[in-house]
């Protein structure tokens, strides 16, 4: 007979404050995991890259994000000039430097 008349069910127990706080616990735990495994390491890498870019000086041998290897010949506030071959210089943003190579790397290539 349940297809004509809805069955009567008992009401659910009222939600207590402890139960509502426990329902947010997985969400908080997920945020903590994301912070320690994604956000914090990314902030550390960004800080290291910023220090690397600020530490670039004339005569350093650098690799750019595009893969160019060259020697820094001129430094400005936002741009640097990199000599990638004899008498060939390119102007790059400082942020494009991805690594500083050890001295003498260009001679080995």
What per-residue confidence (pLDDT) applies to 21? 74
Q: Please tell me the pTM assigned to this model.
A: 0.69
Q: 27 pLDDT exceeds 70?
A: yes
Looking at domain 57-108, its CATH class is mainly beta
pLDDT tens per residue across span 35-87: 999 999 999 999 999 999 999 999 999 999 999 999 999 999 999 999 999 99
Indicate if the alpha-carbon torsion angle 29, 32, 37, 39 is positive or negative. Answer: positive
Q: Are 53 and 60 in contact (CB under 8 A)?
A: no
Map 34-57 to HEC letters: HHHHHHHHHHHHHHHHHHHHHCCC
Q: 1 pLDDT exceeds 60?
A: no
Query: Model confidence at 10, in pLDDT bands (50, 70, 90)?
Result: low
What per-residue confidence (pLDDT) applies to 104? 87
What is the chain's mean pLDDT, rounded? 88
Q: Where are the domains of the chain?
A: 15-54, 57-108
């Amino acid at each position: 007979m349940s297809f004509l008349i809805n069955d009567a069910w008992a009401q659910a127990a009222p939600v207590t404050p402890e139960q509502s706080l426990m329902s947010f616990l997985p969400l908080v735990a997920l945020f903590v995991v994301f912070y320690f495994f994604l956000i914090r390491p990314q902030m550390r890498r960004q800080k290291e890259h910023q220090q690397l870019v600020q530490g670039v000086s004339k005569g350093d041998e650098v690799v750019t994000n595009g893969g160019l290897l060259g020697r820094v010949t001129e430094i400005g506030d936002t741009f640097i000039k990199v000599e990638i071959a004899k008498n060939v210089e390119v102007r790059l943003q400082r942020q494009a430097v991805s690594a500083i190579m050890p001295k003498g790397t260009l001679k080995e290539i």
